[in-house]
Structure formats: C-alpha cells, structure tokens
Amino acid sequence: MAEEQWRSGVILRRNRPGSSAKDFRRWPDEPFEEMDSTLAVQQFIQQTIRRDPANLEAILKIPEAQDDGVWKYEHLRQFCMELNGLAVRLQSECKPEICTQMTATEQWIFLCAAHKTPKECPAIDYTRHTLDGAACLLNSNKYFPSRVSIKESSVAKLGSVCRRVYRIFSHAYFHHRAIFDAFEKETHLCKRFTYFVTKYSIISKEILILPKLEDETPIAQQAGESEA
C-alpha cells in the first residue's frame, strides 16, 4: 500500500480496506506546519504517540506558535479517548458488588459529580460517569465551539476533569494492579497524564498519589472524602 502511494507521489493517510494489521497506520509522518486542518493538533498528537508512546517529552512538546489552551484541550481529549481502553479492561473484575465505592487508598472515598448532589458510586460506575461527563464537556459547543482557539474561561474547566480522570488511574493502580500494569506497559498513559498535569500545573501535586516514575513513591494524603 505504502509503496503504491509513494510511486504516485500522493501520500494517503488513511487505512485502505483489506489492510493487514502490520500495515495499519503505516504512513509517513507529516510535519505539523503542513497539516492543513482544524484537527491538526489532534492529528499531530496522535502521530507523535504512534511514533513512540514512551517519549513523553516529544508528545508534550508544544509546536511553535501553537495556542496553549488548544494544546491542553486536545491532550485531554486524547487522554479520555485512550482511557476508555482501561475502563473496558477494568470491567472484567471491577464489579459493582466488589468495588462498591470509588476509592484509591483506603484514606479517600471519591464522590461522583454526575448526580445533582455528589454521592458515592461503585468504582466502575464512577469511571463510566466521569468519562461520559468529560466527553459531554469537551464536545460542548457552548464551552468549546472551536478546535482552533479556546477562551481562557473554558480552559479553566479542564482542571476539574483532570482531577476526576486521575482518580480512575488511582483506583486501577491500588485495586486492580495487574490490569493497570499491563495497560500502562502498552500505553504509558498514566505517566504521560501525570507529566502533563504537572508540566502545565493543571492540578495540585498534593493529590498526585501515584509515582510518576518507577523509582518514585506515592505522596501521602490525609484521610477524608472528596467531591470534585
């Protein structure tokens, strides 16, 4: 497929019907400045992840002159899309009758904000509600009508989404470690997310209870309940 595209002088960046797994997304990279689309930032992020999902510096390095708010927004969209993969895996053992509350360590119980009044939910329901809520917000024409420029007041809403998303990683790490480790080995998603929220100071370091790197230890927290 790729050879035929090169010979014709036209690079078609899409998977043709009948493509084998080894040829899936096997097209050349495109420089960011040559991407002529309102989805250019998303495409560039996904392209960099495919090249090497472990290279956090490259994935999170913002292109020159790129709008900072759009960069953060598109990364959070990408995190939520990939995190659905972890949610699917968790369903095999994160049952409502087993994980009756959304917890990380035994010190915290997280309340679900998907209800009129935040309340306790089984962990898997909390996960679904959080990802559904994030999708609704990030696709809202009211707050994010454009993929090219974003108002600062809308960018400010990303913090609360990041806090709730981080709890999904935390629950998986402390209660479903084998699933977490297998997913993380493939995607490096939690490391990338932690690096992202730290690099851009999106959420407080005090609530980052998981290690960013293998040789780091979790940050201790006081016991309690958390709504947001």
Please state the residue numbers annotated as binding site: 94, 99, 171, 176
CB atoms < 10 A from the CB of 84, how many? 13
Please check whether residue 86 is in contact with residue 109, taking contact to mean a CB–CB distance below 8 angstroms: no
Number of helices (H), then strands (E), belonging to the chain: the values are: 9, 3
**In angstroms, rounded to a whole number, what is the distance separating the alpha carbons of residues 214 and 210?**
10
Judged by DSSP in three states, 224 sits in strand
Contact between 179 and 93 under an 8 Å Cβ cutoff? The reply is yes
Residues of each annotated binding site for Zn(2+): 94, 99, 171, 176
